Structure 1
Amino acid sequence: MDETIDWLRERPYYDGQIAAERTLPGRDATFADVELDARVGSVLESAGIDNLYSHQAEAINAIRDGDDVVLATPTASGKSLAYTVPAFERALEDRRTTLYVAPQVALINDQAETLSELARGLGFASGVTVDRYTGRLSRSQKEDVRERQPTVLLTTPDMLHYGILPHAHRLWEWFFDRLETIVLDEVHEYRGIFGSQIALVLRRLNRVVQRFKGDGRGPGETVEQPQYVCCSATIGNPVEHAATVTGQDPDAFTLVDRSTAATGPTHWLLWNPPTYDHGGGTMGRRKSSHTEAKRLFVDLLQRGLQTVVFTSSRQVAERYATESADALVDRGEHDLAAGVGAYQAALGSDRRRELESGLREGSIRGLWSTNALELGVDIGGLDAVVLDGYPGTRMGAFQQAGRAGRGTDPALVALVASEDQLDQYLMSNPDALFEQEPERAISNPDNEQLLPRHVLAAARENWLNPDDDAHFGTRFPAVVSDLEAAGELQRRETDSGIRWTYAGDGSPQHEMSLRSADDREITLQARNREDPIATLPLGDALRDAHPGAIYHHQGTSYEVTDLDLGHDVATLQRTYADYYTKVLHDKEITVERDREEKPFPTREDVTVRLADVTMHKQITGFERRDRSSGEVLGRESLDLPETSLETTALYYTLPPALTRHLETLGDFAGGIHAAEHAMISLFPFEFLCDRRDIGGLSTPIHPHTDRSTIFIYDGYPGGVGLAESGYETIGDLASRTLELLQSCGCADGCPACVQSPHCGNANEPLDKGVATALLEALAE
């Protein structure tokens, strides 16, 4: 690997782009003796597993002792054995069952194959059987699964929500009566709106299991609940997050977070593309990370390194996989070009499995992938990983980097920075990537807009009673009262007490989507093609599939010719345009209720508040931008419906004296706008979220406060806890943002500090100097 790095340094077109280097040392494995059931031990030995790592043994013993467990170790550390051994032992003992839940069908399929092979080694007479239960099975296939009554059932949270819990008492009694263990894989993925939804699904699951196991209880007897085993990437609050998602007591969890598996050294290169003079600027624009990652990817493939590039979106993965293959053809590498592909969640299952097996077997030499491949799908070990832009979180960066490494062989990871704020902050402060604590995952099962839907779903699954506040929290009585008043729940007085039953005829489960807060979806249909290209939530469709938008899919570029919101269909036609599109929008925020307030940590005269707000957004038009330079080629107006978002926000107001002072320094409106951008850009540095999960608005005068005001709001209905977390740490956020502005070498503001690629006002106006002065007045 050293030779490859030296070779890269010698390339003239890479001169000066390595901003920092780190080598993370490998380690030898440590093992521990675990007394195993003889049959399980024999099966593992047949699979080539002669010893268990110490962290696997620690987790197995904790599960055997009855603890809930969080296993938070890196990629490829063998987490699956920690729950497989207890699951098989319990099935062998008296056919007790295990429910395995993972966020992606690809993970389900991967685990099902591995576990089924091990179960077959135990023999048919053992009674240990493994089955998957997903939405891709036909009705008859689902019936066959239930008929076989597997002891280990693998499913997604979606199928648990739609297909298992609604039929628990009719079709699944055999399973829940014997349920001993619930495995939540990739629990760090259950964050934001998705995590909040899953947390409520699991509260419904806990409630159903309690009803099954509570049948026939005597006075004073308690119900033995199944154990939770949560597998997670390295995050800052693994136990707290697992407890929030599962609805369990955090004190019941044992944390195993130190991997004892063997690894080779990992060579990290922090790679900053050069700037070029785009005309009129003092610093120039930075070269696209996509273009630089493509060149690095092609070079590494030619050097014989099997490589995956992780990038930000499906569209980028598709486009640059095609361009990389073309570049290899231009170099005469036709065989290598044939081994390049794009991997993303919208692909069909057959194509995804083809790419996964191709990586394992070596026929696929390189992929451009979204974070869909970041999850625990088995693809073997790669020689190199290229991160096309900082993934937004340290957790994501190390998850993706963990895909590189074959046993104890050295691996290469190159983080190619974009010109966004977080990327450039890390280029200037590399220790922040390697030495600081990982981000905290946030979810909010108390979300006011989600909770009523799940309470209705729970009533459809089994009658409600007042004790269900143990599952749904302190808001439960008010929610039930509102639903009863609306005629959606029916109240009954019984000898056992008050009960509420579902009063509707339909399925509340099928009236909500777990993956999105927006249940309305737009179908993307290309001309001369029978099958739709994709479906998008309404909000995403207004942004990405408006008339005139350029949309990339599987190596093909399309232009949206029509968006029919009456029938929820966008029509596309193929195009060879050499530009991309970006929407413009106007926003305003109405404060509905101030929940709490406090002075800014360093200034008594600056008030910070947490509030319920409504954000109104109107997309007004879009820009066409040159594919290579990002230069604006033209603008067009759009006539699209306004959308609104009821959510949670933190906001702070500036005292008149500070406002007057800042007005003397430059463009005040541009200054608070720039400060808003910069603060939002660093939000993911503390909390596990995407830049799009957070929004902002700044205004010189807001009608609610009658003062200059800066808002930072959750990008999801009802909020998912991000604004609350930011409210608690507002002083740290201001200090880090000031550090970002002061470390950027530009004079007037650039994409590395105050410009945002998500700004709906085309980054106008912005004043870096005023923003810096404001943050100097606020920061500790």
Structure 2
Amino acid sequence: MDDTIRWLQGRPYYEGQITERRTTTGREATFADVDLDSRLASAFESEGIDRLYDHQAAAVSAVRDGDNVVLATPTASGKSVGYTVPAFERALDDRATTLYIAPQVALINDQEETLSDLAHGLGFASGVSVAQYTGRQDRKEKEAIRDRQPTVLLTTPDMLHYGIMPHGHRLWDWFFERLETVVIDEVHEYRGVFGSHVSLVFRRLARLCERFDADPDWVCCSATTGNPVDHAATVTGQPTESFDLVTEDTSATGPTHWLCWNPPEYGDGEGFGSGRRRSNHVETKRLFVDLVTKGHQTVVFTQSRQVAERYATDSASDLRDRGEHDIARSVEAYQAALTDERRGEIEDGLDSGEIRGVWSTNALELGVDIGGLDAVLLDGYPGTRMAAFQQGGRAGRGTDPSLVAMVAGEDQLDQYLMAHPRDFFDEEPEEAISNPENEHLMPDHVLAGARETWLQPDDDDHFGGPFPDIVADLTESGDLDRRNTDAGLRWLYSGEGSPQHEMSLRTVGDREVQLRDRRDGDRIAKLSFADALRDAHPGAVYHHQGQDYEVVDLDLRSDVADLAPVRPDYYTQVLHDKTITVENDRREQVLPTHDDVTVRFADVSMRKQITGFERYDRQSGEPIGQEPLELPETTLETEALYFTVPEAVETDVRVAGDGPDAFPGAIHAAEHGMISLFPLSFLCDRRDVGGLSTPLHPHTDCATIFVYDGYPGGVGLTERAYETVVDLMERTLGMLRDCPCESGCPACVQSPHCGNANDPLEKDLAADLLGALVE
């Protein structure tokens, strides 16, 4: 692989684009002696497993001892063995059951195949059987599974919520009475709104187990995050101290060469310094073609289906232009919309080596056995270091050397990491955050829990937080029926139907707008009400499945938007006004680097009024016109951190600036920069948080910068950021100082989501302001 890297560096069109190179050394595997039931040992041997790695053995030992476990090791390290051994042992001994929960059906399909093969190796007489129970099965198939009573059941959080727990006492008593192991795969995926919902589902699961006198062990498998045990405890509702943590990967690997690759900057007619760069897609395609031509089996991870399809086609075309027709025929696109059969063909082709190159979405990131690759290309920073290392972990065939190149886009995170590679390689991974105590989510789950089995006062141990007040409110509203029984106080669900089916695990709130094609009335998509106001207003250009549409009508009485296919040479972005009211200051701290700055964490109300939208030229990005809109105001009750700017600092910035927009531009740019770097510390998207900066806020009577959670009630992001706010400020300062642009660009302070059209913004003055606060 060293020869390949030297060859790439010698290509004239790649000159100077490797900004950092790191090599992780390979290692030999280390094994442990584990006593296994002879039948289980024989079944493992038939699958090619004759010894357990040390980290697998550590997990097995902890579960055997009755402990909860977090197994947080890299991709392809064999985490599944850590829970399979105790699950099958318990099934062999007394037909104890195991519940396996994963966020994607594709992952369940892969695990079902692996576990079923192992169960078949034990023989029919063992009594061990495996089945999945998901929304893809019809009623008769589900009934047959329940009649068969498998010992290992694989499902999603959604099916657990909608289809299993509501029928626990009627259809699943046999399963819960014998439940000894709960496996939560990819526990890091349960974050934000989805994670907060799922955390409450698992609390309801723990209640149901308790009613059946079951006390299962919880085994959580995770990618490498900054808080694996704390997050597993938050998601499952189990005590933090009950978890054993296993993080050391003891499987064999070869050396991996990591390259940070920054496409060249191009100018605006006056030379360099525009902050704009050659497309990362084009740069990645060139690298991909070079690598597969050199004989390296390569997968590109990109962030959309359309990009994967387009550039797989373009790559094959470039290979044919080079005369590499055989290789061109072995290039494919892989994404979730493909049929199961087609995805399986590509996976088998990668494993056998018949397919030499693939452009993929993150659908290949987890749970799919594709063997080892020679090279992985990341087409743009995938948004988190966790995802980057998971995707990069696909490279490596046994102990052979491998290559991973991260090709940067031009936005803030990508360019920050090109300038600060140590933050990518050497910093702690991001933290996964969820908030099961969200008061907007908990009432529906309390009702669902009461529908599954009666509530009692000590259920506060499961739900915590606002549970007693929520029960009182629901009793007063008539949704719960309070009864004094011989066994003590109980609450029963008094409504009709199923509260489980009245909520979605993916959203907060239930108002949605349907988007339909005006030609035939077919539904294109659905959006939450707030997202529809932003993305589906009259005149908006909406992109879906490779097609652009223009919104020709938005009817908010029936919550339907009509769209027409178009081929515009522009895109649209809304303009809006925001106000934030501080409802309750919950905590405060003096900034340790500046005695005159107090940072607060608070409950806030954010009101937003969309006032119009702007059209931008697709080629140049320049604005080409505005139109007004009349849409309803929305209110978001959430959590925020905020801080004030001392008068002396404000005066210095105003003196250093030029004109009345100098200081507003400085605080606006600082706000944008801080929001853009949230995903460096937390597993989130930058649209999960919002901000507001104002030269004078009525609550503080001075200049104030707010950063708020983008979801009702908050999902814990700004609460955690409040605790580490100095780190966030320092990173933002570094990004602003290191960006070579003159006045602000997409790599530092310009945001595609700004409701003020990125006006005003003063990058250098923002750096002066943050420097005064943290230095």
Asked if these proteins are the same fold (TM beyond 0.5), I'd say yes
Trace 1:324-723 onto structure 2 (pairs within 5 A): 324-325=315-316, 327-328=318-319, 336=327, 339-345=330-336, 349=340, 352-362=343-353, 364-526=355-517, 532-577=523-568, 579-627=570-618, 629-666=620-657, 667-723=662-718
For 1:521 and 1:91, locate their aligned partners in 2 and report how far apart those are by CA, in whole Å.
44
Map of 2:736 onto structure 1: 741
Match in the other structure for 1:243: 233
CA-to-aligned-CA distance 1:468-520 (integer Å, 9 cap, x gap): 10101142111100111111111111111111111110211111111222434
Superposition deviation, residue 368 in structure 1:
3.4
Which residue does 1:726 correspond to in 2?
721
Cα distance change on mapping 1:116 and 1:538 into 2, 3 Å: farther
Q: Cα–Cα, structure 1 residues 2 and 274, in superposed 2: closer, same or farther, change >3 Å?
A: same
Distance 2:366 2:538 in 1: 34
| Deviation of 1:645 (Å) | 1.9
Alpha carbons of 1:329 and 1:641: their partners in 2 closer, same or farther (altered >3 Å)? farther
Which shows bigger deviation, 330-339 or 9-18?
A: 330-339
Task: Find the aligned partners of 2:335 and 2:720 in 1 and give their Cα distance.
Answer: 31
Shift of residue 640, structure 1, vs aligned partner: 4.3
Q: Distance in 1 between matches of 2:154 and 2:198?
A: 16
> Structure 1 residue aligned with 2:278, among 283, 287, 295?
287
Q: Is the 8 A contact 1:646 1:718 kept in 2?
A: yes
Asked if 1 retains the 8 angstrom alpha-carbon contact of 2:79 and 2:221, the reply is yes
CA shift at 1:108, angstroms?
0.5
User: Aligned partner of 2:487: which letter?
Assistant: S
My pick for the range that moved more, 136-145 or 403-412, is 403-412
- Is the partner of 2:132 in helix, strand or coil? strand
Q: Which moved more, 1:186-195 or 1:333-342?
A: 333-342
Flag the 1:720–1:345 CA change in 2: closer, same or farther, 3 A.
farther
Name the residue aligned to 2:15. Answer: 15
Query: Structure 1 CA distance, aligned partners of 2:85 and 2:47?
Result: 13
CA distance in 1, matches of 2:375, 2:477: 57
Is contact 1:17-1:273 (8 Å) kept? yes
Query: 2-side partners of 1:342 and 1:584: how far apart?
Result: 37
**Aligned residues of 1:105 and 1:156 also touching (Cα < 8 A):** yes
Q: Cα distance, 1:310 vs. partner?
A: 2.2
Measured against aligned partners, the alpha-carbon deviations of 1:356-396 in whole angstroms (never above 9, x if no partner) come to 44543455544433333322232332222211222222212
In 1: Cα distance, 2:316 partner to 2:512 partner? 33
In percent, how many aligned pairs have the same letter? 69
SS of equivalent to 1:234 = coil
Q: Does 1:105 align with 2:105?
A: yes
TM-fit CA distance, 1:569:
4.4
Range with bigger deviation, 301-310 or 495-504? 301-310
Whole-Å separation in 2 of the counterparts to 1:577 and 1:293 = 27
RMSD of equivalent CA atoms: 2.5
Query: Cα–Cα, structure 1 residues 315 and 673, in superposed 2: closer, same or farther, change >3 Å?
Result: farther
**3-state SS of 2:596 partner:** strand
Alignment match, 1:764: 759
Task: Pick closer, same or farther for the CA change 1:377–1:627 going to 2, 3 Å.
Answer: farther
Kindly provide the amino acid, as one letter, of the partner of residue 68 in structure 1: N
- Residues 718-727 or 730-739, more deviating: 730-739
Shift in Å at residue 8 of structure 1?
A: 2.1
- The AA in structure 1 aligned to 2:103 is P
| Amino acid across the alignment from 1:166 | P
Quick check: 1:268 aligned with 2:243?
A: no
User: 1:32-52: per-residue Cα shift (whole Å, max 9, x none)?
Assistant: 111110000001111111111
Match of 1:774 among 744, 756, 769: 769
2:210 is aligned with 1:210: yes
- Partner letter of residue 246 of structure 1? T
2:215 to 225, 230, 240: 225
Specify the alignment match of 2:78 in structure 1. Answer: 78
User: Which stretch shows the higher mean deviation, 228-237 or 509-518?
Assistant: 509-518
Deviation (angstroms), 1:733: 1.8
- Aligned partner of 1:216 in structure 2 is none
Aligned-partner Cα distance in 2 for 1:81–1:535: 40
Contact 1:614-1:647 at 8 Å conserved across structures: yes
Farther off after superposition, 305-314 or 466-475: 305-314
Corresponding residue for residue 148 of structure 2: 148
Quickly say closer, same or farther: Cα 1:565–1:322, change in 2 above 3 A.
farther
Q: Which residue of 2 aligns with 1:120?
A: 120
- Once residues 331 and 520 of structure 2 are traced to their aligned partners in structure 1, the CA distance between those partners, rounded to angstroms, is 25
CA displacement at 1:664 relative to structure 2: 1.5
CA distance in 2, matches of 1:159, 1:132: 10
Cα distance change of structure 1 residues 435 and 114 upon mapping to structure 2, 3 Å threshold: same
Residue-by-residue CA offset, 1:129-166 (whole Å, 9 max, x unaligned) = 00000011111111111111000000000111111111
1:525–1:337 Cα change, 3 Å:
farther
Superposition deviation, residue 344 in structure 1: 4.2
CA, structure 1 residues 372+523, in 2 after alignment: closer, same or farther (shift >3 Å)? farther
More moved, 617-626 vs 263-272: 617-626
Partner SS state of residue 21, structure 2? strand
CA distance in 1, matches of 2:710, 2:338: 27
The answer to whether the 8 A contact 1:25-1:266 is kept is yes
Query: How far, CA to CA, are the matches of 1:551 and 1:291 in structure 2?
Result: 24
TM value normalised by structure 2: 0.94
- Alignment partner of 1:701: what SS? strand
Gaps of 5+ in 2: none
Q: 1:629 to 1:509 in 2, by over 3 A?
A: same
Give the whole-Å Cα distance in 2 for the aligned partners of 1:353 and 1:524.
Answer: 32
Closer, same or farther in 2 for the Cα pair 1:663/1:315, shift >3 Å?
A: farther
**Range moving further from structure 2, 325-334 or 98-107:** 325-334
Return the alpha-carbon distance in structure 2 between the equivalents of residues 12 and 565 of structure 1.
56
Farther off after superposition, 524-533 or 748-757: 524-533
Question: Per-residue deviation at 1:322?
Answer: 4.9
State yes or no: 1:173 paired with 2:169: no
Task: State how far apart, in whole Å, the 1-side matches of 2:4 and 2:618 are.
Answer: 30
Deviation by residue 1:638-661 (Cα, 9 ceiling, x = unmatched): 444443321100001123333223
SS at match of 2:595: strand
Q: For structure 1, which runs of at least 5 residues remain unmatched after alignment?
A: 214-223
Q: Which amino acid aligns with 2:156?
A: T
User: Could you report, residue by residue, the CA deviation over 1:523-553 in whole angstroms, capped at 9, with x for unpaired residues?
Assistant: 4444677964544444444444445555555
1:48 aligns with 2:43: no
* Equivalent position amino acid for 1:701 in 2: L
SS in 1 for 2:257: strand
Contact 2:591 2:726 in 1 (8 A): yes
> Secondary structure at the residue paired with 1:604?
coil
Tell me how far apart the structure 1 counterparts of residues 752 and 253 of structure 2 sit (CA, whole Å).
38
User: In the TM superposition, what is the alpha-carbon distance from 1:345 to its structure 2 partner?
Assistant: 4.5
SS in 2 for 1:235: coil
Other-structure match for 2:243:
253
**Which whole-Å CA distance do the structure 2 matches of 1:642 and 1:402 have between them?**
46
Per-residue deviation at 1:334?
5.9
In structure 2, the partner of 1:37 is 37
Q: Which letter maps to 2:655?
A: T
